[in-house]
Structure 1
Amino acid sequence: MAKCCRVSKWCVIGVVVALGAVATIAALWTITLTGNDTTTPWTSYRLPTTLVPLQYTVTLWPRLTPDPNDLYLFTGNSTVEFECVEETDLILIHSNKLNYDVLHNKHFGLLSAQDGVLVPGVRSSWLERTTQYLVLQLNGMLVSGQRYRLYTEFTGELADDLAGFYRSEYVEDGLRKIVATSQMHPTHARKTFPCFDEPAMKAVFHITLIHPRGTTALSNGLETSHIDGVDVTRTTFEPTKKMSSYLLALVVCDYSNRTTQQGDTLIRIWARRKAIEEGQGDYALNVTGPILDFFQEYYNITYPLSKSDQIALPDFYFGAMENWGLVTYRETNLLYDPLTSSSGNRETAVKMIAHELAHMWFGNLVTLRWWNEVWLNEGFASYVAYLGADKAEPSWSMKDLIVLDDIHRVFAVDALASSHPLSSFEDSIVLPHKIVEQFDAISYSKGAAVLRMLSDMLSEKMFVQGLSSYLNHFAYGNTVGKDLWEHLQMAVQLNKVVLPATVEDIMNRWVLQMGFPVVTIDTTTGTVSQKHFLLSPEPDLKSPYNYEWLIPIRWMNSKEVQKDPWWLLHNRAENTGMKTTGDEWVLANVNVTGYYRVHYDRGNWDKLLGQLRADHRVIPLINRAQLVDDAFNLARANIVPSTQALQTTVYLSAEREYIPWQSALDNMQYYYLMLDRTDVYGPMQDYMRNLVTPLYLYFNATSGWTDVPEGHMDQYNQVNAVHMACSTGLEECQNLTTSLFRQWMDNATHNMIHANLRSVVYCSAVAAGGAKEWEFGWSQFKNATLASEASKLMSALTCTRDKKLLEKFLSYTLQPTMIRKQDATAVITSIASNREGQGLAWDFVRDNWNYMFTQYGVGSFNFAALISGVTARFSTAAELQQLVEFRGKNSAAGFGSAELALEQALERTEANILWLQQNKHNVLQWFTNQTLPHYHMV
């Protein structure tokens, strides 16, 4: 390819000829490695600070048809302009799985400089595969303060591995179509072109894509020119803002779009043509503008780009990715059909859109310096996503759902001794798989929880004031977490607010030590104390703050709505005002604004349980869920008896609200995992069936099963009612779901089941049916045109009790033509959640681990979720031994991002064994002795 090529028809033809001279894939890996020394800079996983990129000019040409060896390739060239900030004779630039054309000086790159400045020659060059570098050793020194340019030509594989520049496939109108798309985050830009692939190495990107005529090319910037050649189109994009390499996005597709204008911003939703024609992108289009407007006001910074593209991809590893100006999504997370999608699908879409758009400022405009503080980026977006979604759907009470979806979720992980702090030392997070490991529930959900607590502690007005100052000050730059604390402290001082310590001192205790406290309140004395909460206490755990937190406590008692908040500054406080007399009770952590659990003396617990039974509405909605969740987890930690935790569920026969019910069902799931293979299962099913029947009757009377309630939360609780009634054997419910599914089987083109109820009806009917129902579900799954509908069917197929069908379905997860790689983990873990499938799924993972790990790689399987999912039921010594043997057998191949998940699985299994030994007898007795009234259908 010509080094400098003007845009013209003949230039494009020349590019076609030059780039077309590509051999087979074998040539991709025939680079000779030389000069490798274990003590040299190229053995470090971190780039030296001697060179700083300024801008890239990149041309890429993805082939959407295979070569004679049935391989999909892309070819390209790149010029990176960089500044030398410290004299050096070495260029290190990231490169992974790229083959380089040897240029006329017999090296992989050509070096030049501006203004005719002489540059040293390249003495040697090679690829360092372990640390993923292209290395160029020079004959002389690069001069500090001088700018240079490095030009390379290269070839890569457009593989279906969901990483870097990759291939996605789908069928439309009977035709197989290819999408070339990208996932650069966190370390895959280097798989697309040579680059300084670290978040602090920000630069401007000038992108050109060469693609087949009739296809569309997209990138971060708006298209500025289209030049058609003989067989191809050359599309050039406006330069990006200064940004990190992981935010680059590239797409070539045969898509269409829906478009609107929000102020000066062009908004486009891209998807398969059929999906756009059916209106599946309309909801995303309608909410994107209001969410963008909300964040512009929230941050007090105008959206910095000319357009906001969002695109739905058939194959995508993450849920979505915040590429600046071109956000990529799984289809299920962006597309919504008002006729066949559920309320949950709509909520997923609006929350996902809000999460990704929040990153346009926090993460993209201002970027954390290194991956050891992933939590601040992802936790912040997770928190404010609820605010953005609430703006778009104000009637849904979205802000309340963070307690269920994030806080309660992450408590379960952060109560393990194998948990980890939000922030780590930079030097401990350098390997690519260690970077991926940071994107876990701790970063997303605990991060959201502690930032929500901080916003409540300061007031939202002050929090936003400091946040806006931070973003304006560091725009287009990089930061560390301390920088945010300093700007929030400036807001505190500006507002003359008195805190017990600086923002940094307060937050360091929540960020630099793992876990969270349990606050114990003795209402007989008014004493309040704190202690590190662990499901299985470990005496040797170390912490820089000795597991002591500065805790803001909001509380109320039975006589007053809410008391002024106060701070627990040490392990113990006397005379707190929380002493009660008579029937008075105390309730702490009102609305769960604090990231901690609460325990009371037995008398106060009894009064709170009595209040729930007498009139549960006196206790705030979120705190009803909190009481259930705290009690069950205090019981798991042997702080209160399991029977006391179970007592918190008795009042639910009178409860109609979703959040407390969901909290109870989430916690009862642990009891099912531990006890559904024991003699406790029958009495437990009887109790839960009687408990849920009033809720089932309530929804049957108010909306029936052909309609849904008006309220968003009520719609969720209707699903809970059907799910629990059917799964616990309520005959009327099982007849309902079986009948609805059979009607659909009799008329496959006319599905009368309401979208909200489809997941639970499908699962119940498949579980009650046999091969005929399963095969019908499979055929509907393969023919589904809406991704969310396909997802419901895929999940339902894992509900069958037929082990042969489950084994067949497991085998499909290693066949991408049957189950997409992005969905394989979900299928395996869902089968593991089935009583009949748990052993099958575990055996499957054990038998195929090495193949999945080495052949599929991190772009296909979520190995951490896989380990967590298939071991969730483990509660016997034999299962613990199997897990230990699994770790030993596969230690050579490794576990990648699942290393921590494996340690947590071992810890959880040991805790489960102990819990079962200590609690099974008492729990059996409790369920057997319950005398809830029996309800009958009218």
Structure 2
Amino acid sequence: MALDRDILPDSIKPLNYNLSLYNLQFSGDWTYDGTVKIASKVQKETDEMVVNVKDLKIIGASVGDASSSSMKDVSYDEKNQRATIKLSDKLKTGETSLSITFQGSMNDKMAGFYRARYKPVIEAAAGTPKDGEHHYMFSTQFEACDARRAFPCFDEPNLKASFEFDIEIPEKLVALSNMPEKSTSKGGASGLKKVSFEKSPVMSTYLYAWAVGDFTYVEAHTERKYNGKNLPVRVYTTRGLEEQGRFALEHAHKTIDYFSDIFDIEYPLPKSDLLAVHEFAMGAMENWGLVTYRTTAVLFDEENSDARYKQRVAYVVAHELAHQWFGNLVTMDWWSELWLNEGFATWVGWLAVDHLHPEWKVWSTFVAEGYQTALSLDSLRSSHPIEVPVKSALDVDQIFDAISYLKGSSVIRMLSSHLSNEIFLKGVSTYLKAHSYGNATTDDLWLALSGASGQDVKAFMDPWIRKIGHPVVTIAEEPGQITLRQSRFLKSGDGKAEEDETLWWVPVGLKTGEPVKVIHSALQQKEDTIREVDDEFYKINAEQNGFYRTNYPPQRLVKLAAALEKLSTEDRVGLIGDASALAISGDATTPALLSFIEGFQGEQSYVVWAQISASLSKVRSVFSDNKQISNALKKFSLKLCSPAAERIGWDFAPDEDYLTGMLRKLLLAMAAGAGHEGIISTGKQKFEAWKGGDNKAINQNLRATVFNMASANGGKDEYEAIKNEYRKTTSTDGKEICLVAMGRNKDPALARDLLNFVLSDEVSVQDCHNGPMAVAGNNDTQGEIWKFVQSEWDGKLTKVRSSATVVLDRWIKTGLNQFSEREIGQEIQAFFKDKDTAGFDRSLSQVSDNIEANAGYKERDEKVVLEWLKANGYT
């Protein structure tokens, strides 16, 4: 075994899987039987087969024809999820066929081959499994290590093989897999059929997929021809929801053509299917040729859905289709290089959305959301490098996080900006062509990009990938010049010398002069001086392309606030985000942040207002226990946003653009949250009219805003009305909106009711974290989550603990990160000391770091914040 990873013995290498599933039991214990024939290359003589299995029972095994060698014994290593099959005779080197019969179950854990509950919107087809009001569809989720839950296999990313598949199902149901259907024949019993699929290209086990259900679809074709044909692209849903797939469909076929062009490699499979899955732990999964999605990530109802879900659907569709090349055609060699898949797919997903919707200005949204989220997580000691060492694949789930996705995509954006998108994509194309149908490493990508650019990419990018953290660039001013110094940025503000040894390549991107020009250079040492700087105006990190914080002298922030017209949207977002982060760390102050934000009263960009809102929410959360500060900050927020909120109003123009609609929702919510009586009153009136039966009283794009407003300013009646809407709504995004709104209520008793409700059978496991997220962000009720976790850890929370660790992880991260009291941090550590924290131990460390940083921030700035608010008339 390799020293740096815990992998299977290298005596057998799979070449092809031929998998048959039959005897599917659609009730009771939900079992199925299977036979998998694995064409293999025996590389070393051996008398045993070691394969990955989890929750499977191996019935028998043989090699070649049954007389050659058969199973003598089987033993299971449950901890490492392996089975060792002892054979009657030794296997000789060369090619052979291994055959394993087994039994598995269609579980309810959203992993492996699993069942997903739903309530049909129209009558389901005969034979659709059901249990009372709930019906079932079946799907797979194999990433990272759950193919082994469905069939015995060699479940490692670089053990690629081709796949053939057939399955026996009820006649009226539909089966899907990675490849097109090859044939359908009669099943082994009346009312059953056997569906077989074409042989796939070689791929990793985690990309294999199939699904069974009462599916219908909408279809389009690529505009571009592939092997002389326009490829079929379909969005599948359970019966009755298919028309909600049209928005995703239109983006899917255009995105496939776009990626085929920019990668200079044609989409490799003969079809592309997208499937909406009713219970789904993640957002989506890039199975080759059969991408699976959470319903809110692929379905959009033009008449009833909130427009903000359009961008989500367009992006998630693009992200998963990007994987068809970057991840599927070329796969990372091992899980430590997960970022190669996820960081790239995130960046190029936004690139595709920007190509299709330039009016959405998605890169400024990325800077306000993805980039800031990555910087925040990466400012903790418990962060990890983008390329994080992974010894056991079973430890990989927790690195599907903001570092792999968002820091990874942020440093790719930084690199592509430096090289130019054209040269960057040329290098990517070279990389993909060189490693097609194989595996690759980060160094392989650097080599291809170096060849395309003529620069030593590995030399200046490796610290960004292999080292933890990011720098803050601190600026000192002298007439006509500035001195830049880089050091590691920690949210806690207490970095030690031994934590500040990394030397990053930092693209400076200096904006200065009149007219404004951008001067490109790089800080490649701890400190350097830049001359010929205009004292009247300058800003570094143009367009926020570099992944770092900037600490300006206080008087420079004042000057920048007076020169906002010279700054791009990304620049303005970056300045606010930096000022906020530096206040938390103690490198700057909250009064400096508030003074800077005061200058944005006339701001018109949705994205900038979103960053202002996020920064103010953080300040209000940390100081929420101090009622004098809390009330003064509400007045500050009200004065800041009221003119803009009143100006934009409640009414949507018929031809209004997407970003204006988003700005309206945000400003109305900000003003209501700050106590704007007129806006709250109008919101209440709309809610009461809706509650009275007027379904048109609330514009579909303001449903979340009004529900949140009514809940936050109401009581049990409003809460129960929204809960009832949760039970009735058929809108794909409606349930999510309702759960979040219920969490805005300020009554702790109703917060506890919501926490109990989301763990009831009425709420699917995939959605049960939405309510707690809202409760955690509610300053009046956030403490209820910690109380609930303590009291129900061995009670109602066992539902989540036993079925979906990824959802439990969200409870921990979103529910406990908000506290600013060290005592609570100590309580949390003590509570989990003797618990099994596998699957969320990294998140617990992040919670601890965040609480410590919040506590330090509160202790340091509480007095000066109050003094500033008093001096400026807010108390």
Fold match by TM threshold 0.5: yes
**How many residues in Structure 1 have an aligned counterpart in Structure 2?**
853
Distance, in Å, in 2 between the alignment partners of 1:902 and 1:218 is 39
2:838 aligned residue? 896
1:690 to 639, 643, 653: 639
Distance, in Å, in 2 between the alignment partners of 1:715 and 1:64 is 48
2:264 aligned residue? 300
Structure 2 vs 1, CA of residues 416 and 831 (structure 1 numbering), >3 Å: closer, same or farther?
Answer: same
TM-score normalized with structure 2 length: 0.94
2:793 aligned residue? 849
2:46 aligned residue? 88
Distance, in Å, in 2 between the alignment partners of 1:927 and 1:872 is 26
2:814 aligned residue? 869
* C-alpha deviation, 1:350, in angstroms: 0.2
* C-alpha deviation, 1:488, in angstroms: 0.6
Distance, in Å, in 2 between the alignment partners of 1:803 and 1:606 is 41
SS of alignment partner, residue 387 of structure 1: helix
Q: Where do residues 357-376 of structure 1 align in structure 2 (5 Å cutoff)?
A: 357-376=321-340
1:188 equivalent to 2:155? Answer: no
SS of alignment partner, residue 63 of structure 2: strand
2:213 aligned residue? 253
1:124 aligned residue? 73
1:632 equivalent to 2:593? Answer: no
* C-alpha deviation, 1:858, in angstroms: 5.8
2:853 aligned residue? 911
Structure 2 vs 1, CA of residues 123 and 538 (structure 1 numbering), >3 Å: closer, same or farther?
Answer: farther
* C-alpha deviation, 1:547, in angstroms: 1.6
1:354 aligned residue? 318
Q: Which amino acid aligns with 2:98?
A: L
1:681 to 623, 630, 641: 630
Structure 2 vs 1, CA of residues 745 and 659 (structure 1 numbering), >3 Å: closer, same or farther?
Answer: same
Structure 2 vs 1, CA of residues 358 and 136 (structure 1 numbering), >3 Å: closer, same or farther?
Answer: same
Distance, in Å, in 1 between the alignment partners of 2:277 and 2:498 is 44
1:7 aligned residue? none
1:765 aligned residue? 710
* C-alpha deviation, 1:622, in angstroms: 1.2
Q: Which amino acid aligns with 1:464?
A: L
Structure 2 vs 1, CA of residues 307 and 907 (structure 1 numbering), >3 Å: closer, same or farther?
Answer: same
2:34 to 76, 84, 105: 76
- Contact 2:364–2:569 (CA<8 Å) still a contact in 1? no
Distance, in Å, in 2 between the alignment partners of 1:62 and 1:391 is 47
Q: Where do residues 106-505 of structure 1 align in structure 2 (5 Å cutoff)?
A: 108-112=60-64, 119-120=68-69, 122-144=71-93, 146-172=94-120, 173=122, 176-229=134-187, 230-262=190-222, 263=225, 264-276=230-242, 279-427=243-391, 430-432=392-394, 434-493=395-454, 499=455, 502-505=456-459
Q: Which amino acid aligns with 1:282?
A: R
Structure 2 vs 1, CA of residues 834 and 390 (structure 1 numbering), >3 Å: closer, same or farther?
Answer: same
* C-alpha deviation, 1:540, in angstroms: 5.3
1:279-338 CA-to-partner distances (Å, cap 9, x unmatched) read 211111111111111100111100001111001111011100000000000111100011
1:509 aligned residue? 463
Distance, in Å, in 1 between the alignment partners of 2:532 and 2:546 is 18
1:598 equivalent to 2:550? Answer: yes
* C-alpha deviation, 1:837, in angstroms: 2.4
Q: Which amino acid aligns with 1:218?
A: L
Distance, in Å, in 1 between the alignment partners of 2:840 and 2:322 is 28
Q: Where do residues 825-836 of structure 1 align in structure 2 (5 Å cutoff)?
A: 825-836=769-780
* C-alpha deviation, 1:204, in angstroms: 0.6
Q: List runs of 5+ in structure 1 lacking aligned partners.
A: 1-39, 102-107, 494-498
Greater CA drift, 672-681 or 236-245 = 672-681
1:535 aligned residue? 491
Distance, in Å, in 2 between the alignment partners of 1:916 and 1:773 is 34
2:524 aligned residue? 569
1:99 equivalent to 2:57? Answer: yes
1:608-627 CA-to-partner distances (Å, cap 9, x unmatched) read 1332xxxx222222111111
Give the aligned CA root-mean-square deviation in angstroms: 2.2
Distance, in Å, in 2 between the alignment partners of 1:652 and 1:639 is 22
2:651 aligned residue? 705
Distance, in Å, in 2 between the alignment partners of 1:185 and 1:370 is 13
* C-alpha deviation, 1:693, in angstroms: 0.4
- Contact 1:363–1:377 (CA<8 Å) still a contact in 2? yes
SS of alignment partner, residue 897 of structure 1: coil
- Contact 1:578–1:586 (CA<8 Å) still a contact in 2? no
1:756 to 701, 706, 712: 701
Q: Which amino acid aligns with 2:719?
A: W
Structure 2 vs 1, CA of residues 355 and 530 (structure 1 numbering), >3 Å: closer, same or farther?
Answer: same
1:569-614 CA-to-partner distances (Å, cap 9, x unmatched) read 100113x225444xx1210011011111112233423321332xxx
- Contact 2:491–2:584 (CA<8 Å) still a contact in 1? yes
Distance, in Å, in 2 between the alignment partners of 1:395 and 1:431 is 41
* C-alpha deviation, 1:539, in angstroms: 4.9
Q: Which amino acid aligns with 1:587?
A: K
- Contact 1:822–1:861 (CA<8 Å) still a contact in 2? no
* C-alpha deviation, 1:667, in angstroms: 1.2
Distance, in Å, in 1 between the alignment partners of 2:477 and 2:468 is 29
SS of alignment partner, residue 239 of structure 1: coil
TM-score normalized with structure 1 length: 0.88
SS of alignment partner, residue 653 of structure 1: coil
* C-alpha deviation, 1:777, in angstroms: 1.2
2:768 to 820, 824, 830: 824
Distance, in Å, in 2 between the alignment partners of 1:415 and 1:579 is 30
* C-alpha deviation, 1:924, in angstroms: 1.5
Structure 2 vs 1, CA of residues 484 and 281 (structure 1 numbering), >3 Å: closer, same or farther?
Answer: same
- Contact 2:606–2:660 (CA<8 Å) still a contact in 1? yes
1:266-285 CA-to-partner distances (Å, cap 9, x unmatched) read 11111122212xx2111111
SS of alignment partner, residue 840 of structure 2: helix
* C-alpha deviation, 1:425, in angstroms: 2.7
1:747-798 CA-to-partner distances (Å, cap 9, x unmatched) read 16x2431122111110111222222222221121111112212211121111
SS of alignment partner, residue 475 of structure 2: strand
* C-alpha deviation, 1:557, in angstroms: 1.2
SS of alignment partner, residue 235 of structure 1: strand
Structure 2 vs 1, CA of residues 368 and 431 (structure 1 numbering), >3 Å: closer, same or farther?
Answer: closer
- Contact 1:627–1:648 (CA<8 Å) still a contact in 2? no
Distance, in Å, in 2 between the alignment partners of 1:558 and 1:627 is 19
Structure 2 vs 1, CA of residues 645 and 629 (structure 1 numbering), >3 Å: closer, same or farther?
Answer: same
* C-alpha deviation, 1:552, in angstroms: 1.6
* C-alpha deviation, 1:396, in angstroms: 1.3
* C-alpha deviation, 1:377, in angstroms: 0.8
Q: Which amino acid aligns with 2:511?
A: M
1:425-473 CA-to-partner distances (Å, cap 9, x unmatched) read 343xx151x2101101100000000001111111111111110011011
- Contact 1:523–1:604 (CA<8 Å) still a contact in 2? no
Q: List runs of 5+ in structure 2 lacking aligned partners.
A: 124-132
SS of alignment partner, residue 522 of structure 2: strand
1:924 equivalent to 2:866? Answer: yes
